[in-house]
Structure 1
């Protein structure tokens, strides 16, 4: 599935953009609007879901039912739907609902299509600032308020010079947090709260690393496709493929990935 010059690939790409357009409209209906409420999916901690999460996924599923009814779907809000084509659309209608509730523009919509080998194309969309990042089928490009631009991860530099992002300071379990700190204490700069936008910034050549834990397939599959298309590396903390989520190490290049991996594992 590496050749863009087929009607099949063009249809998948056009479908992904149609999904992103629909989710962009749905999420902006409620973003920064007064009275937005959230339910929590968990009782032990605040894991919010809003009417915008549900509406965006509903609209994306409706498009897939019309355009790609034979494909499977895995979505954060409405679970799995079986398919017969061998392809699965993996959808996160709002990655970063806490940020969405807070009014920050670091949340996004994640859309990917996967075959039996994992994600083959992915799209990260930030509706409010109108930035979109896509990778796969020979593409590695972004578009935003300043126009279209190529995606390319930054060149290798020592871990001590690296910029690293993560969503939460308290990454994962106590043991995972200690491993994370081994890297965080060695890099030049660490910033928090970026959600999926951090992965887009790796692909755009702005930062070097994202390290997180406790993720789901819909959190990681679009970023995997986008980052790998831009020349980066995304694995678990043992260096293995991570399409099912869990512990994730995303890096701009193989060299900084190797340094961070060694630090994570002591």
Structure 2
């Protein structure tokens, strides 16, 4: 689906309003001693009152301004629509970081059609940074001002900085495949959740490799990174917007080098 300029302007305004609403709700509870946290499963999979409140606030904006669009959210599920567009929401990507007080979690907002994300926002409310990507380019706004996003031009894996969120990555085979990539990279770092994707779009790092993702984890990062000139696929080289595995790279050369190693896990 091609977005006309007037439609894009409206949709961007709505996306930013949704991000603004999530900022308010997530900051209310961040670093509060009385934050209520529970686990979604026997294994520690935390969700907080802030996750649910933020998504409810996001959905309220969409109900008012885009009632014809579908919604897919991590906390409140799916709502059908009639427009062919879906808002994909993760109110707090990195809840473990959120409850630990680290400023590396983020709010993810994507607008997608049947082909994948068309625009997206990665927002870090505590730092006050926002990263946008769409058909009209990629931009940032934060403590150092605002401007255009662009991935850096690293082509050699030996010069690359690679991130993943969890050291184990996914299955044992997936973890082993990641380790083979990391062994050839200059620097490997862990954590950051969605913030790592923002750093890639901002030209600070070169690769993000993850597994076990849901659609709401990856669609906004895809939109931002691709608009900044990067590449995002799954570990088979196909579309990543439905979740599963993801390989985000600054350049085609890095993507090809990492992909060749990761495909040994498939």
What is the SS of the residue equivalent to 1:198?
helix
Contact between 1:154 and 1:252, CA under 8 Å: does it hold in 2? yes
1:36 matched to which residue of 2?
35
Residue ranges of structure 2 left out of the alignment (5+ in a row): none
1:10 matched to which residue of 2?
9
2:26 matched to which residue of 1?
27
State the alpha-carbon separation in 1 of the partners of residues 263 and 55 from structure 2.
37
Q: Equivalent residues in 2 for 1:1-266 (5 A)?
A: 6-43=5-42, 45-266=43-264
C-alpha distance after superposition, 1:212-243 (max 9, x if no partner): 10000000000000000000000000110111
State the alpha-carbon separation in 2 of the partners of residues 34 and 228 from structure 1.
38
Mark the CA change 1:93 to 1:28 in structure 2 (over 3 Å): closer, same or farther: same
TM-score of the superposed pair, with normalisation by structure 2: 0.97
State the alpha-carbon separation in 1 of the partners of residues 3 and 78 from structure 2.
28
State the alpha-carbon separation in 1 of the partners of residues 187 and 144 from structure 2.
27
State the alpha-carbon separation in 2 of the partners of residues 63 and 265 from structure 1.
41
State the alpha-carbon separation in 2 of the partners of residues 161 and 155 from structure 1.
11
State the alpha-carbon separation in 2 of the partners of residues 240 and 158 from structure 1.
22
Moved over 4 A (4+): 1-4
State the alpha-carbon separation in 2 of the partners of residues 182 and 16 from structure 1.
38
C-alpha distance after superposition, 1:12-45 (max 9, x if no partner): 00000000000001000000111212111111x2
- Deviation at 1:2? 5.5
Instruction: Give the total of aligned pairs.
Output: 264
TM-score of the superposed pair, with normalisation by structure 1: 0.97
